[in-house]
Amino acid sequence: MVAGAAVALIAVALGGGYLLWGHGGDPVDAHPSARAKASATGGTATASHTDASDGVAPAPTLTDLPDGYRLVHDKKGFTLAVPGTWTRSERKTGVFYTAPDDRGLVQIFEITDPEITPREALQQASQGLSGNPGYEEISLEPLGFPGPGIDANQLVYAYDSKRLGVRVKVVDCAFTATDGRQFAVLVLGPEDEWPQQEGTQQIALRTFVPHA
């Protein structure tokens, strides 16, 4: 949901988070840490085999990917699956994969503040977003399926997008990866396309693997 050069990045100290502002001053998303680096992903959910003993999904293989997805080995230090037609861009607030029509976006970034937990990061993000038009925190709870970290928490929220002229719904998951680093994966899209955002995020999380 970010339109390339039309987007201006503004680091805002709201709840220790970053806000990404779209064209016309439309806030697209908020990030849990004021010191972040990262990347993104998107799609429809397909279950993969998981290890129920620790709640962490195993590394993905190409045969596990649903149609229309591809694995990307991002230079920012992780591998995950993204929709095949979504294009990568990099900004101060992370790495983004954006749909061709700009109406879907996945973002992943590393939370570099060692004093914050994934849940606290999401709480700060929600606080920072609370001033947006029509903002509603829908839920903040532990991730409901095996993902890339045992402490994964997920924030779901919605707000009125002036730029798109529609209400958008966002799902944002923060977690500690198997190598000890903390990441967040956020997926945004029009509210009337829900639960597509959830599906896109599930694929990203189930295929997420950190690397050097």
Whether the CB-CB separation of 139 and 154 falls below 8 Å is answered with: yes
pLDDT in tens, 105-142: 999 999 999 899 999 999 999 999 999 999 999 999 99
Instruction: Evaluate whether residue 52 is within a structural domain.
Output: no
The whole-number average pLDDT for the span 56-77 is 78
pLDDT at 41: 33
Instruction: Evaluate whether residue 116 is within a structural domain.
Output: yes
Instruction: Evaluate whether residue 190 is within a structural domain.
Output: yes
Instruction: Evaluate whether residue 24 is within a structural domain.
Output: yes
pLDDT in tens, 165-206: 999 999 999 999 999 999 999 999 999 999 999 999 999 999
The boundaries of the domain holding residue 206 are 4-47+63-210
Instruction: Evaluate whether residue 58 is within a structural domain.
Output: no
- Whole-angstrom distance between the N-terminal and C-terminal Cα of the chain? 29
pLDDT at 13: 27
Reported as a pLDDT band with limits 50, 70 and 90, residue 212 is: confident
CATH code of residue 180:
3.40.1000.10
Rg (alpha carbons) of the chain, rounded to whole number: 15
pTM score, whole prediction = 0.75
Reported as a pLDDT band with limits 50, 70 and 90, residue 63 is: low
Instruction: Evaluate whether residue 154 is within a structural domain.
Output: yes
Residue 34 clears pLDDT 80, i.e. is over it: no
Q: Sheet holding 17-22: strands in order across?
A: 8-14, 17-22, 26-31
Domains held by the chain: number: 1
